[in-house]
Amino acid sequence: MSTVGSIIEGASRKPVTLATLGAMAARGEAFACLTCYDASTARLLEQAGVHLLLVGDTAAEVVLGLPRTIDMPLDVLLALTAAVKRGAPHTVVMGDMPFMSYQASPDKALENAGRFLVEGKADIVKLEADASYAPLVQRMTSAGIPVCAHVGSKPQHVALTSGYKAQGRTREQAEKILADAAALESAGAAMLLVEAVPTEVADAMVERARVPVIGIGAGPNCHGQVVVLHDVMGLLDKTPGLARPVANLGPVIREAAMQWVRSVAERDFGGKTFTMRGG
């Protein structure tokens, strides 16, 4: 039986761990990742057999209604991460370290990463990085904190790039991304995540890496694939090109809410009612 078939058992599914994902990558078996931000959705995604849930700083936009991911408050993201782990206790949960939670100083970065494991109940933390962050990754790893290093297009750097842009499209860029990934893996990164790069660059990273590589907009051959839940489920008015929707739940939810409005207007909304007690 495949790994997917053996774990789609709701609450009784066999726990998925970082070791599980490493074994799947070694076998050439792809694992599925989605972003998630609450316990109820996490429960459903675990029942569906999703292997890894990323509590991303995209929550700033899709949950809090903020204009940029860099506006994500650390304490809120910690609370959301813990909620997701409570909803999906048998799934790998990755906490996304938000902007300025790890850039200011190594000591503060280590403290905040530890908070993700202790308060957020995360299994692994993710940080956007290049080779200059190798000492920090090594320090976190030495402290017992698993790290996923995010390379390629880095959303927290949009102020420098004037928006979200693909990376690795020139030989120089591609070589730098591959060098960054190699340095971060050598420093102890347990996973790599590569975003918005040509397939050839991602394929070279997969070929060279000894750890699982998760892709987003990086071609079909990464060990794992992640997209934003709201994009793939059709919950937003506009879907980015990185995600191909597999459902169109936005209109379904809107219609259900309209039905509730009609039911209330007609004073026919069902549900339990209560009566006065005698005496």
Q: What is the reported pLDDT for 163?
A: 72
Q: What is the reported pLDDT for 159?
A: 76
* Positions in the chain whose pLDDT score sits under 70: 1-12, 162, 241, 279
> Per-residue pLDDT tens for 108-144?
999 999 999 999 999 999 999 999 999 999 999 999 9
Domains of the chain: 3-248 (3.20.20.60)
Q: Which residue in the list 195, 200, 207, 266 is annotated as catalytic?
A: 195
> Per-residue pLDDT tens for 224-248?
999 999 999 999 988 776 778 999 9
CA dist list (Å): 45 to 5, 111, 153? 14, 30, 26
Yes or no: say if 147 and 109 are a contact pair by the CB < 8 Å rule: no
Yes or no: say if 214 and 148 are a contact pair by the CB < 8 Å rule: yes
Q: What is the reported pLDDT for 117?
A: 98
Q: What is the reported pLDDT for 279?
A: 61
Q: What is the reported pLDDT for 134?
A: 98
Q: What is the reported pLDDT for 87?
A: 98
Residue 21 DSSP one-character state: H
Q: What is the reported pLDDT for 59?
A: 98
Separation between Cα atoms, residue 67 and residue 61, nearest integer Å: 6
Residue 267 DSSP one-character state: T
Q: What is the reported pLDDT for 242?
A: 76
195 is catalytic: yes
